[in-house]
């Protein structure tokens, strides 16, 4: 353990693909709060040895969109909750691609069909680092939560757009995130 690479090698790619949960961390360029969000629901794809993408689903905040637009810095963390202990961090430069963008349209088919997708976040990975993960507990995966899908199913597209306008137009530090009508 303790390796540092400039790309995601094949064994690491295969290990990441098996993880049910990952974390994304971003921060504004100056001041402000560091944000770390858990992600799941089969939302991550490794598209090349130096590129990852994930579906950004409706949530209570839009920090990743705001921060990647502000400065691009992004870190992903994956932890082994079963099997041998391991932590992988991917450091890179991220971009948010909204539904009307060419990148969003070209990548959307890589992911499961879901409503409430705000963007696709892509990241050019510059550093891959693994560490031991000895302090990470072992846990069993039971199932994905369905609450987000239920919430989205109970709303019209206009309702979701209004939610984004009300709750996701600015980050918690006041940076622009989703510019919705």
What is the per-residue pLDDT for 62?
95
Q: How confident is the model at residue 93 (pLDDT cuts 50, 70, 90)?
A: very high
Structural domains for the chain? 4-167 (2.30.110.10)
What is the rounded distance in angstroms from the CA atom of residue 171 to the CA atom of residue 159?
20
pTM of the model: 0.95
Task: Tell me: pLDDT of 138 over 80.
Answer: yes
What is the rounded distance in angstroms from the CA atom of residue 61 to the CA atom of residue 172?
7
Taking only the tens place, the pLDDT of each residue in 34-70 is 999 999 999 999 999 999 999 999 999 999 999 999 9
Q: What is the mean pLDDT of the chain?
A: 96
Q: What is the mean pLDDT of residues 122-138?
A: 96
Share of the chain above pLDDT 90, in %: 97
């Amino acid at each position: 353990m303790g390796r540092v690479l400039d790309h995601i090698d094949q064994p690491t790619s295969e290990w990441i693909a098996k993880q049910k949960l990952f974390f994304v961390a971003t921060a504004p360029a100056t001041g402000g709060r560091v944000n770390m969000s858990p992600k799941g629901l089969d939302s991550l794809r490794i598209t090349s040895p130096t590129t990852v993408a994930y579906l950004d689903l409706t949530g209570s905040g839009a920090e990743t969109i705001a921060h990647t637009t502000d400065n691009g810095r992004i870190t992903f963390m994956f932890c082994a909750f079963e099997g041998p202990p391991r932590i992988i961090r991917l450091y890179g430069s991220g971009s948010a691609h909204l539904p009307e963008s060419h990148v969003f349209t070209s990548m959307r088919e890589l992911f499961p069909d879901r409503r409430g997708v705000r963007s696709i976040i892509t990241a050019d990975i510059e550093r891959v680092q693994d560490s031991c993960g000895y302090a990470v507990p072992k846990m069993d995966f039971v199932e994905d939560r369905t609450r987000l899908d239920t919430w989205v199913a109970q709303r019209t597209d206009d309702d979701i757009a209004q939610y984004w306008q009300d709750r996701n137009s600015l980050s918690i530090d006041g940076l622009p995130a989703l510019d919705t009508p």
